[in-house]
């Protein structure tokens, strides 16, 4: 084991860090000024985003999220970073809410690109993966439904029925992230092609251009009061939406399998960024504590704040180590071998970020509640993660079941050999 | 001591409860539909509010917040409830965010009415207290400033300078609650009349009609993403605002004294309502847990949720008892005698509500984050209380200092008599 | 509702408080010096205990725990205090670990006396209740067994078999408190008289003089390192222990019913004393914080300690109110009506005491860990309560089930009437 | 960075692990049976300890704690493990309270050996380091004093006065760990040689054979009721204790410097073992949860226990990573560079262990409170660490001060360059 970063690891992190320093932090004012507009204007993309993208593309800081794999081809490959290397970069991006998009590394496009990269036909890749990897369009993923517990993908009810050369899709989806983005051109829709099939073979995933007739965004959903413009989370009704059969991904009945790969153990990008968000918050907190005078002395000289600051640093450090370990295991083995670490970091990362941000808000007083310091929106985003990335309770249960299996194995071993710590 | 409610206590609570049952809950849909509109429309008052007010006025459920006092006159008196009786009613009101207004019991008008009731001249009462008590206008309180730690009222910088028969006011205020309300007609402004005076005699409070030239609402401030329409919290610039000298309350240099009475120990209305908000959240949580199936059984049959529900009930019950005790002490002695209880409940009430609401959100999954169940906005409101009603840290410090004084007294006693537990 | 104490309530509390001040605190040194001896000596009763008892008896501060009831007779009655009045007194007693015995109010005798008072025959009362109420002997309760989950009384396995005019008892018990006391003369034993009977009619309770052949104390059990001398908790084997059939309490098959009355909702004496223990700890903590200098200033001037002290006071105050409410409900209705409050205080009281004592330990540094300040032993006792008085988890579950029943009732009502907050 | 263990790292860990499996766990019964004796017998060393030592010595699992350094000589060197490698081994040892002694790796000898190894004269090494490294004697460290806050080493009051060729020592020490051990032959005593010197030059450390006249063990101190026999923690009075001037370590006035090296950033052995203690507790908890039935199902099937078990695993995993990182930094740079990580792990390790052990106790019910499962004593030991290894508050303060320095640097940088995230 070795806790020092290699030159390559440092190099990637520092390139992203420098880009953040030189370009992204400077763009925060423009972005937030745009976002504070009234009405429809705020659902347009602020020009600064496309400027940042152009610059990052030019510097080769692009599609960093896609690790080298057997699916790589001449035309379709990421920047060549391992999960670990990406974790370092993603933490930097996580310091600013909109930064990951500058590097073409933002959800849910990343997941959609991975699906297309892995399972797409050459035609599907040409039509959709190309513009996604080029940052020319954006996309959404229509999975969660209001009426069923979506933590279990087998519950999904939307119907995908074949009629001749087309699929006809009917259903209601919500929390479809990114669908408010004017550049959003594609949805991957999960639904049932065969309700009679074996439970894990009923679902399929199909590509639906957003301009297909019958796709209606009913409303945009707020998260603790934040609508997330200009991307947002939509509630979407699909009424007799028709797409050619060629839009099926991987084949009928493979939807659950694809979802597992996507939503299952492998996805810790949110966690990586949560650590960056916590780092930014601890920075702001420290600066505020140094600057603010109350009852005749700096907040930073009051021991209650020293304790909270110390706790925050401790929490972040431990969480980062766990995140990096999970990424490293994914690189060295696979998502399945890393499933305990993945479950753990999905609990730890948002929790740590929430705790740190909450203290940072308190340190800022009323100003922390408004959007002047950007803390409130981060709080909302992190609170959402505790549900969106799988509820804490489900992850903790998975960890416990693995732990209990080990106990059983230990017990069996002890019965067999009579030795050990039992 | 006696933990049973008297017939009078029950009667008032039940009248309010019945009003809530019969009228307010039914109005929630209309209110929220109004609030979800786009743009300027949501800053209008939804008609249902005035309907509720008319009905409550008619039923004598009006101005419940103002306890009988020596300042009562034929024309200006509240409904005659003690703080304790009001606490029971306010808890009921707290179950719905807009309910207190129906009973003409909402902040910051309540505090402003108390100030006018206690310190206003007959002319001031006739002009401002009358319409406020009639629910004809609303008001705001301009105290907090962006540039100073406002937890210490002596810090306030706004200048109130006398010129002839007028005061000229200059300064910047924020978190001026209710100022977005189209019916808001009056501001009580705190500022310095004499920067050279003794520290607690520098401040004054003066009545400023909102339509006075020079009063400009710069922007409305969100709380965790919620703008609180149609009332809201404003940032306000005062530029050479001129009012007649008769608008001074109580006299120059009395501002700190008035503020102490207002913001000091006496104000626990928010706490009373916070308990109602927590009760509503535990109700929603219970109902959701009974209704939702995950992994083959109801959430309510999973012991983790039993534990959380049990904890929530325990927290609420203890918090309510403390709140009622504080109110009872205010009735029997005065705010000063109750200052430890007041400090304690200001910490306990928002904390309990936050914990319960947060669990309720988690029980609702993604739906808990949106405004579909109303939980997210309550969370934001309660989080704000931890700062707006005085930061937790300040209240806990006050409690500790009182506790330490007792320790000193005990020690002195022990030294003198040699007996006791030391 | 009324949070002021009546003259009678104050009078009883103050009599106990004065006795504590004048006699008990002064006895602490002698008691602890005795307890710190090596070997068998510490299992003798320190003379100071009998002196305190004689004095309290003389002052009429005796058997305070037994509330007036229909079972009272000329010869057998307590001091006449309600549960509420006793709660105030018991809190005072709880400040010193051995104080309750001075007032003949210590467990498990109190529970045993209640059982005999309520269910004993005149002969049983004459032989056992008399000396117990006189403080002449002590007693134990043999219920918990090492091999079964004892939180469910129906699990008890000890056999009580009738042979002619005798019962023959066989079984293994543990956590039999007070059995190490040299004055302990009586055990009430719970066991099965009829394994074939309906589940709640299998158990019986029978009186067993401790000197009956076949009663063997196998070992004394420590609680976090404290053996609780001179009372202690024993593991006891019963081998063909024979007692006359007249020793049966209430009748065969009534054991579960008696246990419910005893261990069920009614017993909150431990909670009352836990609050006193927490009060004593906060006193010690305050005094230490005032006295101790670190890094150039008093601990009490460091804001982290102000926060902890403030939190401690808040916790204690809320817990006391809940405890008093539970006692008041038991007085006004019955244990069943108060079962939610009883479950809640059983969770809250040890938790609060543990939190306060743990902070008090930390404030004392290494000295807090030893027995020099008496904090460590209190910590151990409070930690034990979280299990001994029923595990937290069981109480929280009970609370949740009641809460969920209310939700169901609310839902049914709403379905019927269409009104309400649902 | 790399989270996989190297073959050498695995090899050392596995050798210790195998030794634990084959010998140490089997010795637990004998050890605890010995420890449960009455009176003086339990202060003798159980024979199994010397057997284990002999075997470990033979297998080369000896003095593992002493990393290679410039102070190594032919005669005096450890087993050659880095801090990181030792961390893996120490975790294994931490699973059993007495295991570290088997490998001659137990406190306070380890610290004393390090001091002698680094600063001892050849004569001091021959006389004391030799038998310590051979496991022939044991030693203690007399630093903490009852009358001063010992977290600040400059407070130490014990007087070391030179008279001719001797030092005369007078003072009172406590929490002198290991002094109850019959093999304990040496004390390193910290005290003041020059009260007039500059603050950090007043203290010296001197070697005092325990049989020197004037050394009196006044009493042994319990930790939450555990006396820690046969090692224990003593209160020691030094009355005119005379030692030759050759017993001075490093020179007069160097005591603070030595203490810094010892108690300062470098010492995380307790943390490493705390992780092992937590691992053992989670194992016991898992096994109990699988085995215990309550209310008709296994505890492990109740979601509250799944959550706690999941949390426990998460806590342990993060804490271990932090501990290993701290060790790795100490290896690659030095204790000073690692001082933030060292402060963090000193807070994290006992906290995690306490949390896990507390849950494990609760899972075991009353049995968890006694010494039947060994959990209670571990709890006591971990609670002590929160004070003995430096109070949490002091470590958190150190972390905060470093964090605030970084904020200052960032601010200065930002002022200079105008770029960055501020």
Shared-domain flag, residues B322 and B359: yes
Is the Cβ pair D317, A395 closer than 8 Å?
no
Q: Is the dihedral of CA C187, C188, C190, C191 positive or negative?
A: positive
Q: How confident is the model at residue B260, as a pLDDT? A: 80
Q: How confident is the model at residue B247, as a pLDDT? A: 98
D98 — pLDDT class (breaks 50, 70, 90): very high
Assigned domain for C122 exists: no
Q: Residue A73 belongs to what H/E stretch?
A: none
* Residue after which a domain boundary falls, among A198, A221, A252: A252
Shared-domain flag, residues B176 and B54: no
- Please tell me which residue of chain B has the smallest CA distance to C421: B25
The whole-angstrom separation of Cα A231 and Cα A45 is: 9
Q: How confident is the model at residue A379, as a pLDDT? A: 98
Q: B97 lies in which domain range?
A: 7-106
Shared-domain flag, residues C183 and C95: no
Shared-domain flag, residues D305 and D361: yes
User: What is the domain count for chain C?
Assistant: 3
Assigned domain for C420 exists: no
Assigned domain for D125 exists: no
Neighbours, chain C (3 or more CB pairs < 8 A)? A, B, D
Positions of chain A with pLDDT lower than 50, given as ranges: none
Nearest by CB to B293, from A149, A226, A365: name it: A149
Q: How confident is the model at residue C263, as a pLDDT? A: 59
Is the Cβ pair A305, C303 closer than 8 Å?
yes
Assigned domain for B365 exists: yes
Question: Which of C95, C280, C396 best tests the B interface by mutation, with the highest count of B CBs <10 A?
Answer: C396
Domain with residue A326: its CATH number is 1.20.140.10
Q: Which residues are paired to C168 by β-bridges?
A: C161, C242
Instruction: Give A26 to chain B, closest Cα distance, Å.
Output: 23
- Please tell me which residue of chain A has the smallest CA distance to D88: A1
Q: How confident is the model at residue A419, as a pLDDT? A: 62
The whole-angstrom separation of Cα B96 and Cα A227 is: 23
Chain C contact for D39 (CB, 8 A cutoff): yes
Chain C contact for D334 (CB, 8 A cutoff): no
pLDDT along chain C (422 residues), means of 10: 95 98 96 89 95 98 95 95 97 97 96 95 98 98 88 86 98 96 98 95 97 97 95 97 98 92 73 98 96 86 95 98 96 88 97 98 95 95 94 95 94 78 56
Nearest by CB to D290, from A4, A84, A407: name it: A407
**Chain B residues closer than 8 Å to C399 by CB:** 309-310, 313-314
Assigned domain for A213 exists: yes
The whole-angstrom separation of Cα C410 and Cα A280 is: 46
The whole-angstrom separation of Cα D69 and Cα D153 is: 26
Report pTM: 0.96
- Average pLDDT of chain B is 94
Q: How confident is the model at residue A148, as a pLDDT? A: 83
Per-residue pLDDT tens digits for B61-74: 999 999 999 999 99
Nearest by CB to C396, from B310, B325, B399: name it: B310
Assigned domain for D369 exists: yes
Assigned domain for D23 exists: yes
Is the Cβ pair B376, A175 closer than 8 Å?
no
**SS in 3 state form for C135-147?**
CCCEEEEECCCCC
Question: The tokens of C224 are what?
Answer: 């976090």
With DSSP H G I counted as helix, E B as strand and the rest as coil, what are the percentages for chain C, rounded to 5?
Answer: 55, 15, 30
Question: Which 3 state secondary structure label does DSSP give B333?
Answer: coil
Per-residue pLDDT tens digits for D327-384: 999 999 888 889 999 999 999 999 999 999 999 999 999 999 998 999 999 999 999 9
D266 — pLDDT class (breaks 50, 70, 90): low
Q: Which conformational region is residue D300 in: left (phi greater than 0), alpha (psi within -120 to 50 degrees), or beta?
A: alpha
Nearest by CB to B325, from C3, C343, C393: name it: C3
Per-residue pLDDT tens digits for B10-53: 999 999 999 999 999 999 999 999 988 888 899 999 999 999 99
Is the Cβ pair C365, D174 closer than 8 Å?
no
Chain D contact for A273 (CB, 8 A cutoff): no
Query: Taking Cα atoms as reference points, which of D220, D211, D166, D158 lies closest to residue D187?
Result: D211
Chain D contact for B303 (CB, 8 A cutoff): yes
The whole-angstrom separation of Cα C203 and Cα C148 is: 15
Per-residue pLDDT tens digits for D117-133: 999 999 999 999 999 99
The whole-angstrom separation of Cα C368 and Cα C384 is: 19
Q: How confident is the model at residue D118, as a pLDDT? A: 93
* Residue after which a domain boundary falls, among C219, C251, C283: C251
The whole-angstrom separation of Cα D76 and Cα D130 is: 8
* Residue after which a domain boundary falls, among D220, D251, D282: D251
Q: What is the ipTM of this complex?
A: 0.95
- Average pLDDT of chain D is 94
Shared-domain flag, residues A403 and A304: yes
Q: How confident is the model at residue D227, as a pLDDT? A: 94
Task: List C residues 351-410 in contact with D (Cβ-Cβ < 8 A).
Answer: 361-362, 365-371, 376-377, 379-380, 383-384, 386-388, 391-393
Per-residue pLDDT tens digits for D200-230: 999 999 999 999 999 999 999 999 999 999 9
- Please tell me which residue of chain B has the smallest CA distance to D307: B304
Shared-domain flag, residues A271 and A352: yes
- Please tell me which residue of chain B has the smallest CA distance to C307: B396
Query: Taking Cα atoms as reference points, which of B267, B270, B212 lies closest to residue B236?
Result: B212
Q: Residue D171 belongs to what H/E stretch?
A: strand D166-177
Question: Using the 8-state DSSP alphabet, how is residue B6 labeled?
Answer: P
Q: How confident is the model at residue C421, as a pLDDT? A: 59
**Chain C residues closer than 8 Å to A362 by CB:** none
Domain with residue D152: its CATH number is 2.40.110.10
Between D149 and C98, residue with greater pLDDT: C98
Shared-domain flag, residues C190 and C151: yes
pLDDT at D260 over 90: no
Shared-domain flag, residues B41 and B143: no
Shared-domain flag, residues D196 and D297: no
Domain with residue A46: its CATH number is 1.10.540.10
Shared-domain flag, residues B271 and B405: yes
Chain D contact for A23 (CB, 8 A cutoff): no
The CA-CA-CA angle for residues B297, B299, B305, to 5°, reads 135
pLDDT at B99 over 60: yes
Question: The tokens of B300 are what?
Answer: 């309510």
- Averaged pLDDT, B371-392: 94
Shared-domain flag, residues D274 and D233: no
Q: How confident is the model at residue D293, as a pLDDT? A: 83
Write the DSSP assignment of A86-102 as a string of letters: HHHHHHHHTTSTTHHHH
Per-residue pLDDT tens digits for D32-70: 999 888 888 999 999 999 999 999 999 999 999 999 999
Instruction: Give C143 to chain D, closest Cα distance, Å.
Output: 13
Q: How confident is the model at residue B315, as a pLDDT? A: 98
Shared-domain flag, residues D149 and D247: yes
Q: What counts of helices (H) and strands (E) characterise chain B?
A: 15, 9
The residue to which tokens 């003794």 are assigned:
B198
Per-residue pLDDT tens digits for D304-332: 999 999 999 999 999 999 999 999 999 99
Assigned domain for C118 exists: no
Instruction: Give B404 to chain C, closest Cα distance, Å.
Output: 6
């Amino acid at each position: 084991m070795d806790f020092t970063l290699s030159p390559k690891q440092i190099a990637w992190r520092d390139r992203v860090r420098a880009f953040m320093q030189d370009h992204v932090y400077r763009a925060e004012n423009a972005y937030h000024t745009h976002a504070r507009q009234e009405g429809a204007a705020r659902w347009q993309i602020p020009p600064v985003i496309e400027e940042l993208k152009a610059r990052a593309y030019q510097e080769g800081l692009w599609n960093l999220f896609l690790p080298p794999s057997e699916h790589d081809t001449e035309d379709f490959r990421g920047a060549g970073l391992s999960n670990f290397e990406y974790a370092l970069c993603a933490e930097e991006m996580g310091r600013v809410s909109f930064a990951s998009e500058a590097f073409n590394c933002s959800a849910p496009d990343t997941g959609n690109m991975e699906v297309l990269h892995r399972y797409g036909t050459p035609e599907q890749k040409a039509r959709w993966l190309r513009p996604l990897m080029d940052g020319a369009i954006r996309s959404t993923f229509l999975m969660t439904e209001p009426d069923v517990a979506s933590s279990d993908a087998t519950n999904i009810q939307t119907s995908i029925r074949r009629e001749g050369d087309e699929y006809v899709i009917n259903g209601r989806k919500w929390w479809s992230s990114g669908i408010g983005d004017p550049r959003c051109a594609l949805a991957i829709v999960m639904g049932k092609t065969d309700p009679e099939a074996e439970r894990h073979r009923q679902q399929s995933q199909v590509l639906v251009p957003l301009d297909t007739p019958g796709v209606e965004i009913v409303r945009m959903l707020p998260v603790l009061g934040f609508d997330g413009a200009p991307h947002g989370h939509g509630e979407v009704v699909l009424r007799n939406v028709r797409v050619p059969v060629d839009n099926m991904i991987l084949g009928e009945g493979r939807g659950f399998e694809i979802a597992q790969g996507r939503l299952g153990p492998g996805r810790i990008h949110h966690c990586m960024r949560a650590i960056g968000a916590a780092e930014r918050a601890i920075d702001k907190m420290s600066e505020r504590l140094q600057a603010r005078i109350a009852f005749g002395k700096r907040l930073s000289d009051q021991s209650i704040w020293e304790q909270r600051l110390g706790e925050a640093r401790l929490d972040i450090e431990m969480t980062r180590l766990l995140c990096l370990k999970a990424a490293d295991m994914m690189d060295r083995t696979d998502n399945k071998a890393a499933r305990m670490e993945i479950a753990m970091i999905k609990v730890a990362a948002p929790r740590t970020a929430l705790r740190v941000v909450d203290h940072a808000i308190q340190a800022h007083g009323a100003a922390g509640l408004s959007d002047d310091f950007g803390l409130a929106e981060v709080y909302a985003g992190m609170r959402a993660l505790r549900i969106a990335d799988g509820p804490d309770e489900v992850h903790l249960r998975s960890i416990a079941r693995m732990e209990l299996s080990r106990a059983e194995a230990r017990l069996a071993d002890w019965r067999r050999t009579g030795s050990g710590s039992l």
